[in-house]
């Protein structure tokens, strides 16, 4: 993510809303990981309820409750950042409107997911306070299964939405195949969601959630990586041009000062071109 910000803010000077969204997403993913690590102190990973000291139940449940908003915000964030980045190279037409519609639906779904998640029990404190015996809670397995299934649908839509545009665009074939391949890596996130569904069904009790949390952390961070990798193309191209200019300098420069200066000058031109060819209005990625 730091390299992404360097490319957008320093090299291209073209930071956009998709960049700021992924920054917030990274903080949410980090927050979820931190809460999960803290939860191990209070019993995360224990297989049997009898192994959990009763005095740990309150803190364990409270941290479980606190981690959910971080997770939901993270899975929304990397999808939203990808969708906003699509708008950079979809200037107009039906696909742009489809992207806006997907953004709206994605936000609405994840907000609904969050609202239900933080209100799973009545009263709400029943989610972490074992001393509350009255009230009721929504059954966990059916809820998480249905939410994970809908999340898979959004993952598939978001990852494959730009494929028709990229397939018919006039950008270089090599660059096109790279972008298509990188977005295809997002399919692995869908695989993780499927694994999470299987993990939910195999939980022995609500303490035995370590595998579920582990896959959730992988999902969050892989989503951030998949979102950031395409934006690093200007940096790769820049260093590729620098490498080529250095090779030419070693080959033709020799002891001639003229040869060295000429090679260096060509290298600078190539490096400037590498940056300019990725400015907004060219590819936008």
Which residues in the chain show pLDDT less than 50? 254-284
Query: Which pLDDT belongs to residue 203?
Result: 66
Which tokens go with 136? Answer: 């009721």
In the chain, where are the structural domains located?
A: 2-232, 237-276
Query: Which pLDDT belongs to residue 95?
Result: 86
Per-residue pLDDT of 85-142, as tens digits, reads 888 877 778 888 999 999 999 999 999 999 999 999 999 999 999 899 899 999 888 8
Phi and psi torsions of 121, nearest 5°: -120, 155
116 CB-near residues (< 8 Å, 6+ apart): 138, 143, 147
Query: Which pLDDT belongs to residue 232?
Result: 86
């Amino acid at each position: 993510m730091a390299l992404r910000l360097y490319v957008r803010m320093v090299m291209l000077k073209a930071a956009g809303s998709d960049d700021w969204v992924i920054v917030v997403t990274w903080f949410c993913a980090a927050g979820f990981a931190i809460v999960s690590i803290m939860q191990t102190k209070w019993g995360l990973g224990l297989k049997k309820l009898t192994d959990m000291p009763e005095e740990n139940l309150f803190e364990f449940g409270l941290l479980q409750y606190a981690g959910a908003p971080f997770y939901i915000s993270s899975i929304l964030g990397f999808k939203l950042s990808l969708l906003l980045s699509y708008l950079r190279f979809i200037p107009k037409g039906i696909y742009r409107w489809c992207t806006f519609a997907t953004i709206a639906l994605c936000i609405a779904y994840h907000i609904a997911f969050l609202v239900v998640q933080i209100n799973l029990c009545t009263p709400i404190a029943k989610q972490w306070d074992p001393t509350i015996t009255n009230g009721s809670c929504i059954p966990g397995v059916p809820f998480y299964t249905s939410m994970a299934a809908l999340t898979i649908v959004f993952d598939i839509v978001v990852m494959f939405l730009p494929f028709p545009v990229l397939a018919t665009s006039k950008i270089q074939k090599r660059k096109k195949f790279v972008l298509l391949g990188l977005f295809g890596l997002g399919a692995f996130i869908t695989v993780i969601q499927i694994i999470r569904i299987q993990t939910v069904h195999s939980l022995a009790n609500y303490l035995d959630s370590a595998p579920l949390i582990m896959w959730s952390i992988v999902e969050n961070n892989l989503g951030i990586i998949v979102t950031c990798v395409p934006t690093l193309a200007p940096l790769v191209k820049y260093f590729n041009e620098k490498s080529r200019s250095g090779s030419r300098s070693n080959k033709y420069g020799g002891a001639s000062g003229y040869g060295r200066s000429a090679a260096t000058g060509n290298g600078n031109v190539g490096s400037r071109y590498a940056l300019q060819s990725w400015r907004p209005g060219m590819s936008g990625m």
